[in-house]
Structure 1
Amino acid sequence: MTTADTPPQSLPEVVQLAMQNRRDIAALIETVNTMAERLTAAHERMVQTLTSLIQEDRGHIAVLTTGLSELPLKIESMATNVESLTGKVGRLTGAQQQTNDRLTEMNGHLTTRSGRVANLSGDRFEKEVTRLATRISRRQLNLADATVTHIGWDFTTIAVSDIADLDGITDSEAEDLNRADLIITGHDDAGHTVHVVAEISGTIESTDITRSDRRAAILQKATGQTVRAVAIGNEAAPEAIALAGSQQVNILTMPTPANDD
């Protein structure tokens, strides 16, 4: 049993009990005050924390708002950059196309010039062969009184119509015959007229053999006389040699004429 549960017996005991109660009340008040102070401090800290968080959130919201407000401008700037880049790519593509066109044009010029050089060399060879035609006919074809009766590249020479009856052949055959590089007319050992249809090329190809054979057949059809098919060059491709053997076309080779330059 505590002192509070025991009825006071005397005045001193009552005084002592009152003082004890006063001390207990003071201690309780101090405890309450301490707890109140702690709660107040905790509340203040919580308020400060919440205030700080709100301020941070406001800062984040402000940054986000600014970013969102600037986003259309950035998108527009990016679109402008893309458009500019597209234009540059287009200009580069156009410049590349112009370069390709120029290269193609230059290549065409080079090809044309190369062709002209080749044609000059080929024409010179044809003229040299034509100059030596009678000698070639006499020595290699055993023709007497050989004369050049047609030169395909020289329109001042005798036309095919002057040595052949074109009524017996078609217009296309006559035109084809007129394209023959060289036609020589002479006589064999028996005195019979013999015509030679010659194709001239630095390097004899299968096409030369085919043309010579075809045009010789046309001339024989038009004249009814003996016609020999000949290909003249300074060399012959193997396939041309094989084709000439099967079509009975004579291949005559001679050196390329020396350059006079």
Structure 2
Amino acid sequence: MCVVGGDADGLRFSRRARGREFPRAGEPPGEPPAGERALPGGGRTGPGNDLATPRGAGAGQAGAAGRPGSRATGAPAPNLTAVPASDAAVVIQTYAQEMLGISVQVTQARGVSGPLTVAPTLSTAGSQSMQAAVHLAMAAYAGRLSGGVGVVAYGSGQVSGDLTADIEAASLGAFSLQSSAGYPDDAAAALDLVKRTFPALARLNLAAQTTTDGYAFYVTDQTTTVNPRTQQAEVTALAALAGVLPGSSVIVYVVLGTGDFAATIQP
């Protein structure tokens, strides 16, 4: 059980022991499955495994807070880690459910190391925070979702192979989802949209930030996690940057970090 502060009641994320093992950083990838080919650096490509560089969302005109601003996207092609697409999808889906309170449908996913070719549509600060966390992580995964993109990075110093424990100890999730709602008229409406899109953020005391990138909200807090191996409570840092970006499709995003990753998230 992970308990996050934010008000008198706290914010609770339910945890279920999964016991699923994932490749540790540096482990040999083995032979590619049928239909895939090995890439330099140990990656693979093949049916359902390629993640092309996303089309740019376009940069808006800088202006006052709550007005159109820039949208940051991905960077040059990385060396892909040889992680089966199914395992990458499980990591992204698990993070989304446990940390954000949502279920996502992953259409393509890969393990990555290096700059991201597939990245969520974030504010400039959000993109910088995500990139810093990915460089810190021992394992990172990127995936296209139905209606969005998600990136999950975890493992500070080591990866245990226990997905739930690694996410609880130190992780970052960066997600952007298209919204059918209209662009909010003010910060209060934008914050409401963020909390409806990512229900697990509802009790965090997200504070409005001055930005040229649509609407942005930020919070730092602490998380108390019960270590599944020692059964001892551990208190660690938490930070979140969330917001709404304008455009032909309204984008709602979040960058959430725990443990060592919390320090990488800056407004």
What band does the TM-score fall into relative to the shorter chain?
Answer: under 0.3
Provide the TM-score with structure 1 as the length reference.
Answer: 0.27
Instruction: Give the structure with the larger strand fraction.
Output: 2
Provide the TM-score with structure 2 as the length reference.
Answer: 0.26
User: Whose RCO is larger (CA < 8 A, sep 6+)?
Assistant: 2
| Larger of the two Rg values belongs to structure | 1
